[in-house]
Amino acid sequence: MDCPECKKMTEHTYLHNTAHGIPGTHMVGSERYECNECSYKMFRNGMLNSIQKRALQYVKNTNGGATKANFIEDHGPIGNELWQDLTAGAYINVSDSGSIVLTSIGEEELAPNF
């Protein structure tokens, strides 16, 4: 597989997240390939667009202080759609207390070097 970071053919490891950490389950949209040389991650569902990324930043900024209702309200007419995008890609999660938090995938997506 061609690594966009190494700019050459490298070995890649296939990874995916389990749903809620339950072994044998599968989190939709979390499939990704990680370069064995530089650890660059490629998601099967592609990179997020800037609007989705901003929504992800919103979740990070609220630092667990927002609920799904807050998220949808604050993103106006596209709130529901954005919510679907980010949950389907497993970028965000709803915690037991009802607040929205970034998953490790979401964190990686916002990391400057990703």
- Provide the binding-site residues for Zn ion, judged by CB under 5 A: 3, 5-6, 10, 35, 37-38, 40
Under DSSP, is residue 5 helix (H, G, I), strand (E, B) or coil? coil
- DSSP character at residue 17: P
| CB of 37 or CB of 74, closer to Zn ion | 37
State the nearest-atom distance from the C-beta of 8 to Zn ion, in Å. Answer: 8
| CB of 37 or CB of 73, closer to Zn ion | 37
Do 60 and 102 touch, CB atoms closer than 8 A?
yes
| CB of 42 or CB of 101, closer to Zn ion | 42
Q: Which residues face 71 on adjacent strands?
A: none
State the nearest-atom distance from the C-beta of 40 to Zn ion, in Å. Answer: 4
Q: Which residues face 3 on adjacent strands?
A: 8
